[in-house]
A and B are shown apart, each in its own frame.
Chain A
Amino acid sequence: MSDLNSVSNRRITISIYRSESRSYVDYTVPLEDGMVVLDAVRYVQEFIDTTLAIRWNCKAARCGSCAAEINNMPKLMCKTRIDTLPDKIRVAPMGAFTNVSDLVTDVSENYMINRQIPEFKPDERAERPWRIAQIDVDRTKEFRKCIECFLCQDVCHVIREHKADYVGPRHVVKVASLDMHPLDTLDRSEFLNREGGLGFCNITKCCQEVCPEGIHITDNAIIQEKERAVDGDYDPLLWISRKIRHNR
């Protein structure tokens, strides 16, 4: 909907969560071809109820601000076309985070968790300027596509239903991007396993399903980190070989 003032005969009803009344309110908005949920929500805010609180920036699936739950599935409002949805459309704020107002949630816990992840620690002896072969950066490039919409954190049942001390999929992706960096010298899998609650993840792949960037969160980040954690914490033969090397 390029022009919000354009007139259309076709209309849709969209149900939006309002925090003041703690209920869903129906709004009728004109429907246009190629319209996305964010268009409808913006129409409501601009022409029907200006008190509706929403957060959005780019409307191009780059900033990750307009994350919400559309018909019970965490999605970006700007990337979800109305014509892919059934007649009944319900938009709710992300339920895993504290609600600020209407569709706006407080995702600051993610920044707090992010600060606790051990930083990039390059090999000091590495020749400067750093030269990195393409085959060594290919794997981490996928993780850098993350737009931090936190849909994966929202859909994760470990965080959402069990409030467990698990850092969450977004942060495992962050750890994996650092761990797999060819110049980095740290192995963060032990940190992730012991402090980050990696064991609580039961790899049910919902995070991978909702990722708007198509990052293979479970296959390429979580399971890889789990296998590294097995190397450090669970593999009996590797444990014995480390003991022998340590005693020499």
Chain B
Amino acid sequence: MDFGSRERNEVEAGYVSRNDTIPRELKEPNPRLWLFIILIGIALYLIVEFPVKPIDGYIDPFYAPTVLVLPLVGLFRITCYAYRKDYHRHIFKHPLECSINNRHDSQKRGYTGETRLFRLENLHRYFLYGSILILPFFYLDIYKALAFNMAITLAAVILAVNTILVTLYLFSCHAFRHLTGGGTDCYSCKFAGRSRRSFFDVQSYLNSHHEQLAWASLLMFIFVDLYLRALSSGLNINFIILHL
């Protein structure tokens, strides 16, 4: 394709990397990336090494249904369009911000975008399908928490809020949007087109809050984990709201 007068500066290192198997973004000295990897590593080690045993019927969401699903959930989040924006901006600094005066270092570094190895991000929809399969376990855990205590407790409410946030985050996903109607050009030509369009509109509304939901649900996950750890260590921070 002819891109007209766009002046190429291939001599400068800023040109896109075409032949690197490992994207230059991963190879360059980037303390932000290293710190991120170290933090993820420490978090994974702590989660696996120090599991939270079910206490009073409450199950930590990191272990629902098993800690073995963490890679799937992690891949879902890492290939999510909302987080992609965040780490391309704040870890790889491509670009750090939209203001054009603070982006000059981006020009001097290699850029791969979502090509080459980063094409794996296109498998996001499969991680979504996998995550949807895990979702019922979260609802099962709410049921278990209620049934075990025969009461609505603060911990059960926190678990329920977490589950609702995860559900909203999952179903506000861009890949799900494509599935629900993003790929449809003619609704009136299809069976139940008007209803499908309405469903797509509702999903689009959710989708417009995808970034907020992504972060809210991630922070809630961490909060629930810390809360249940505190609870299992003997802290008296749970109380009954309503007896069933």
Contacts and interface: CB of A to CB of B under 8 A. Distances in A.
A74 B100 contact: yes
A72 B100 contact: yes
B77 interface: no
Given A167-B1, A219-B207, A202 B197 contact: no
Q: How large is the interface on A (under 10, 10 to 19, 20 to 34, 35 or more residues)?
A: 35 or more
B189 interface: yes
A119 interface: no
A83 interface: no
Contact of B98 (A73, A106, A216, A227): A73
A95 B98 CA distance: 13
A69 interface: yes
A156 to B, nearest CB: 9
B9 A163 contact: yes
Interface in B24-46: none
B113 A201 contact: yes
Interface string A143-177: 00000000000010111111111110000000000
B66 interface: no
A136 B99 contact: no
A240 interface: no
B187 A136 contact: yes
B114 A219 contact: no
Contact of A234 (B4, B14, B123, B189): B123
A219 B193 contact: no
A201 B114 contact: yes
A200 B16 contact: yes
Contacts, number: 156
Interface stretch (A21-29, A52-60, A109-117): A109-117
B191 interface: no
A135 B186 CA distance: 8
B111 interface: yes
Interface stretch (B68-76, B161-169, B174-182, B218-226): B174-182
B188 A133 contact: yes
A206 B95 contact: yes
Nearest to A183: B186
Interface in A219-233: 219, 223-224, 226-231, 233
A152 to B, nearest CB: 11
Nearest to B25: A202
A18 interface: no
A116 B95 contact: no
A202 B1 contact: no
Given A106-B5, A155-B100, A199-B114, A231 B188 contact: no
Interface residues on B, range: 35 or more
Nearest to A106: B5
A210 interface: yes
A116 B1 CA distance: 8
B113 A98 contact: no
A165 B113 contact: no
A182 B185 CA distance: 5
B174 A204 contact: no
B173 to A, nearest CB: 10
A206 B95 CA distance: 9
B208 interface: yes
A100 B5 CA distance: 13
A112 B4 contact: yes
Contacts of B98: 73, 155, 206, 209-210
A113 B4 contact: yes
Given A201-B113, A224-B182, A72 B106 contact: no
Contacts of A166: 113
B89 to A, nearest CB: 5
A136 B95 contact: no
Contacts of A157: 94-95, 103, 106
A-B CB proximity, top 7 nearest: A109-B4, A227-B178, A133-B188, A206-B98, A200-B113, A182-B186, A234-B122
